[in-house]
Chains A and B, each alone.
Chain A
């Protein structure tokens, strides 16, 4: 299969199309505007729909409507735009609609800046919109990994009837890497596969079989039953869908934790220090909800592990989950920046060496 030189945004958009997405609704915002730009060129070629909405709020509600018909739908935005979408995302989660949402994170809070950041981890994993809901959230670290993950994202979304969120950052959208593209999936929803979908109803049809897309359950009992269904689904996802990578942690004395593109800086530091004889490893969550608590605990509870160093481009958000997993068994340190400043390999190495020197 031929490699193509693709910008992250283009590869992500093409992968969604190849995974069967035929509806894109969005609104431009740096650093992900190339996603709608690419979609606007490609969707008409394959009989899909590209629609630039009047706002993020409109776009996410179009996703709600289109996903309700059972079609494969996608929207993308960046941090402030994703904040605007939160109401709609909560409605979609409540109505149990499968779809894919991309957040190409930039600096925050507020308008922040347009450089890459990881400041929306809390928003992605701990809520965002109102109510008791979760999004199956992937945080891939390379363009190829986004592409590969996209190819099963809709299947997961449809299996659990849950929105899937890709927690990306400005670097992954803007960088160019050679990519191997998978074959196109031609997707057509059927009433059998998606009995919940609103695919049309005419007078004379059985009213009991009418599909209603809804997140409102006025009676206490009904809402309790509904949230119980959602929670049971989340427990299933926690059981089945956790993804992570253990990189050279088997004999590591210092275990790094990092997600997304920052994990590649961490990984470079691991490799360079390994060459110098230091035993360092990296634990990388690929799903950040569900978070791989048990797997991280296992990696950290090995007898030779002295300490954990969490690295993020924020002020310590995943750090809370890392602390939950480690549960005080080892000291956890944090190396982070806000303001979109990325840590360098040298900086990470220096910090690890300092930790080793202190005997941690």
Chain B
């Protein structure tokens, strides 16, 4: 049966990174896979930039129409219809952040409703280290707004809590605690917990309730940018009490 994953969530929660991971994993197990870049919000950090990478993995990529490279006027291509019309094993929608970004999928409401029962997973990617998703109330409010704007019911959450290069063991654990409360209050299950393998393994070894972990998903990072390799300017100034050393010791 065709599986359709729609990744929505707070701005900067890791949707694009997870969309690539979902698509690559599907392609690796031999699925006929389509990946759709429906991010109409952020033109600086987008999946389509990794277009060549997805071709190497034999994934069909659908990108927005660009008026011109570097210009932010985007439109949704007619090609999105192929996600519904064609015979895929796995379809992954990477959607823009927040309720604003989620609006882009509402246009396909009829198509989503015509999918076989159980084919659609609408996943809310949560990173509680992001400022506007840092409390239970904020996550719930955002979840409700995204549902209204996308016209889709969220079927599950992904705990993708991380601090980029400064991630420690605390991130997934703190994310687990907060997302568990969101799940208890909203009834939306936690379907995945994702992170780099070393953090995920250590988190799993802590023996938390599997009900609020879901399927563990060890991810690779593909969306690194030039600046990720730059030295943090406060890094080596010993007189500066900032968490500078963090940036060095946690690089791996």
Contacts and interface: CB of A to CB of B under 8 A. Distances in A.
Contacts of A344: 226
Interface of A: 3-7, 10, 14, 30-31, 38, 41, 113-115, 140-142, 144-145, 148, 170-171, 174-178, 180, 245, 247, 261, 263-265, 267-268, 271, 284, 342, 344-345
B72 A114 contact: yes
26 contacts: A3-B246, A5-B127, A10-B132, A113-B70, A114-B70, A115-B70, A141-B233, A144-B233, A144-B242, A145-B234, A148-B242, A170-B44, A174-B44, A174-B45, A175-B225, A175-B227, A176-B12, A176-B164, A177-B164, A178-B164, A178-B166, A180-B243, A268-B229, A284-B233, A342-B226, A345-B229
Given A31-B44, A267-B233, A3 B71 contact: no
Q: What interface size band does chain B fall in?
A: 20 to 34
Given A114-B72, A174-B45, A175-B225, A7 B232 contact: no
A284 B163 CA distance: 28
A30 B72 contact: yes
B162 interface: yes
A114 B242 contact: no
**Chain A interface, DSSP helix/strand/loop, else mixed:** mixed
A247 B72 CA distance: 38
A4 B129 contact: yes
Given A31-B44, A268-B230, A14 B243 contact: no
Nearest to B72: A30
A342 to B, nearest CB: 7
Contacts of B3: none
Given A14-B131, A31-B44, A171 B227 contact: yes
Contact of B164 (A5, A180, A261): A5
Interface in B19-49: 43-45
Nearest to A30: B72
Nearest to B70: A113
- Which 7 pairs across A and B sit closest by C-beta, in order of nearness? A178-B166, A264-B230, A141-B233, A142-B233, A174-B44, A5-B129, A178-B163
A247 B237 CA distance: 9
A176 B11 CA distance: 11
B60 interface: no
Nearest to B14: A5
A264 B225 contact: no
Nearest to A113: B70
A10 B44 CA distance: 15
A272 to B, nearest CB: 10
Contact of A5 (B12, B45, B231, B243): B12
B116 to A, nearest CB: 37
B163 A261 contact: no
B131 A6 contact: yes
A243 B226 CA distance: 27
Nearest to B166: A178
